[in-house]
Structure 1
């Protein structure tokens, strides 16, 4: 079986991918060569594919996380050797391939207790949850948290992570089938269906106060509803736009003293020390069972179908590409 690489020819819909044979050079100084065994997909990949988050060059190779085995080690690398089980997540993108040359400092070793599929499905999401639950707003015992898409990959990890910190979780899901998964992740209350009256139901569940923090990866008109579901001096966090672009938010909607944040895990992890600290913390959580389930697996050359499923909103958990 030949090695393959997926090129995004230009921004656009699913058909903009081209599958090519892959050849790679030997790793240079400070690099390692990884043979991927599982590649994680994220909505970040969709934003890159569509050009919502523009890439510096075209054609480009997208993908921000994967797990596999070290195949070769460059000079000056002392922490890895051939055969090590490894994973990575974050910048720079380039995971949609059988093989990858990457700086050793961007890679972490996998404990034996974590499978490669689990790492590829949960590392970037786990790192994102660390950023959101610890840095954007430090969630603690008694806090009330609103998690949109609570049965999705990131939503499941946010729910489990918030519960591990002693918080009460209000989740939103699109169907009763997804409600089962969100409850299994620990959600205390669930709002089911796209027509749920978010603001009224959240206020009813919080004695009229609102939540301490709302995590919104839905976008569209949902963000304003999330903001109005937050208590005074609470925070609404926008982390995606799965339902479409976010309309401008007038500053008047921040009264009385609400906060709006738009953190980026890619920007957060651009700093190597911060990246390694966050990845290590995420691996600890993964070992403790704070993971996303795998929704489905696609061969690398089926990348267009994987993206199509991601965008339907019907998936629960993470979608993997298998080289």
Structure 2
């Protein structure tokens, strides 16, 4: 049996319930993993509220780290006793242990802690595909990154600095801006007190940025388009302020023949070999010291509702984990 946080209907954080559920044995292509720490991400909020519908009742959580207890037939990259971490579908990480598909579960290097592993897989591989797999970027390019002091943002600030990419961040307080700058952003704009679109234009000498990486959604979408240079790429990868409403595709022409994409991590990591390669790239960045995984909030699994409230209120910085 494993203590599990799940929801039986979509809604607010108060809908979480805790139950002891049977775990079972892994089938072909599966592993059983005992979690040591679990990551918290905004996609969990989208699933809890019903923005991303799912069959209920269901446990939430897409990211965790722990010890492999058993492997099913056909699993060759992991064995019982291995340290492991993952960002993967289906949801279900908010628990002490689970059986899950093995393909996206990755061996965790000994020099990376379980807490770091739980805090970095979804956010770090998201950063990897944003900077390496979505649009061609090279040293000297400039990107605009919203929510630069969040879990993905602080990893992206450091990764961009290591790659020689200029990252202009936005954040909601001066303290969060200072945090982004400390982690490698070349500039950071307080979007609550400044006209961030005008600031981006001023910083870039009126040219605009090569790409925008926007997980905020509705509140920043129009300004993000206006921050791009001609032929720039708009990467909309989240909806923290709500989903982007329908818009006229024709506006991309007069704004500079802009490009737009709505990627998801789970498309990028759906292939086993690609997922393992992306994870290794992330591990290399952390082990080299280029990227430090900052964990600013820890909640016990039983307090998962409070963790969600803090995340939705934008009271968090860096990564948030659930401890077991």
TM-score range, shorter chain: over 0.9
- The answer as to 2:268 corresponding to 1:271 is no
Tell me if structure 2 keeps the 8 A contact 1:90–1:265. Answer: no
Query: After superposition, where does 1:46-195 map in structure 2 within 5 Å?
Result: 46-55=45-54, 57-195=55-193
Tell me if structure 2 keeps the 8 A contact 1:69–1:86. Answer: yes
SS at 1:180 equivalent: helix
Aligned mates of 1:76, 1:43 — CA distance in 2: 33
SS at 1:202 equivalent: helix
| The 10-residue stretch of structure 1 (241-250 or 18-27) with the greater mean CA deviation from structure 2 | 241-250
Tell me if structure 2 keeps the 8 A contact 1:123–1:283. Answer: no
Aligned mates of 2:78, 2:62 — CA distance in 1: 21
Tell me if structure 2 keeps the 8 A contact 1:224–1:249. Answer: no
- The answer as to 2:24 corresponding to 1:25 is yes
In the TM superposition, residue 131 of structure 1 has moved relative to its aligned partner by: 1.0
SS at 1:302 equivalent: helix
SS at 1:94 equivalent: coil
In the TM superposition, residue 28 of structure 1 has moved relative to its aligned partner by: 2.4
Task: Give the structure 2 partner of residue 220 of structure 1.
Answer: 218
SS at 1:139 equivalent: coil
Task: Give the structure 1 partner of residue 282 of structure 2.
Answer: 282
In the TM superposition, residue 23 of structure 1 has moved relative to its aligned partner by: 1.9
Structure 1 ranges of 4+ moved more than 4 A = none
SS at 1:95 equivalent: coil
Aligned mates of 2:259, 2:77 — CA distance in 1: 42
| The 10-residue stretch of structure 1 (26-35 or 204-213) with the greater mean CA deviation from structure 2 | 26-35
CA RMSD of aligned residues (A): 1.6
In the TM superposition, residue 174 of structure 1 has moved relative to its aligned partner by: 1.1
Aligned mates of 2:302, 2:280 — CA distance in 1: 31
In the TM superposition, residue 105 of structure 1 has moved relative to its aligned partner by: 2.3
Tell me if structure 1 keeps the 8 A contact 2:44–2:61. Answer: yes
Name stretches of at least 5 consecutive residues in structure 1 with no aligned partner.
none
Tell me if structure 1 keeps the 8 A contact 2:190–2:196. Answer: no
Task: Give the structure 1 partner of residue 318 of structure 2.
Answer: 317
Aligned mates of 2:145, 2:293 — CA distance in 1: 15
Taking structure 1 as the reference length, what is the TM-score of the superposition?
0.95
Aligned mates of 2:306, 2:102 — CA distance in 1: 31
Tell me if structure 1 keeps the 8 A contact 2:2–2:23. Answer: no
- The answer as to 2:308 corresponding to 1:303 is no
In the TM superposition, residue 294 of structure 1 has moved relative to its aligned partner by: 0.8
In the TM superposition, residue 112 of structure 1 has moved relative to its aligned partner by: 1.1
Query: After superposition, where does 1:212-251 map in structure 2 within 5 Å?
Result: 212-251=210-249
Aligned mates of 2:269, 2:119 — CA distance in 1: 18
| The 10-residue stretch of structure 1 (69-78 or 192-201) with the greater mean CA deviation from structure 2 | 69-78
In the TM superposition, residue 19 of structure 1 has moved relative to its aligned partner by: 0.5
Q: 1:123 to 1:286 in 2, by over 3 A?
A: farther
Aligned mates of 2:150, 2:238 — CA distance in 1: 13
Aligned mates of 2:245, 2:199 — CA distance in 1: 23
| The 10-residue stretch of structure 1 (75-84 or 121-130) with the greater mean CA deviation from structure 2 | 75-84
In the TM superposition, residue 243 of structure 1 has moved relative to its aligned partner by: 1.6
Tell me if structure 1 keeps the 8 A contact 2:104–2:269. Answer: no
Aligned mates of 2:298, 2:141 — CA distance in 1: 36
| The 10-residue stretch of structure 1 (303-312 or 3-12) with the greater mean CA deviation from structure 2 | 3-12
In the TM superposition, residue 104 of structure 1 has moved relative to its aligned partner by: 2.6
Task: Give the structure 1 partner of residue 10 of structure 2.
Answer: 11
Taking structure 2 as the reference length, what is the TM-score of the superposition?
0.94
The number of aligned residues is: 321
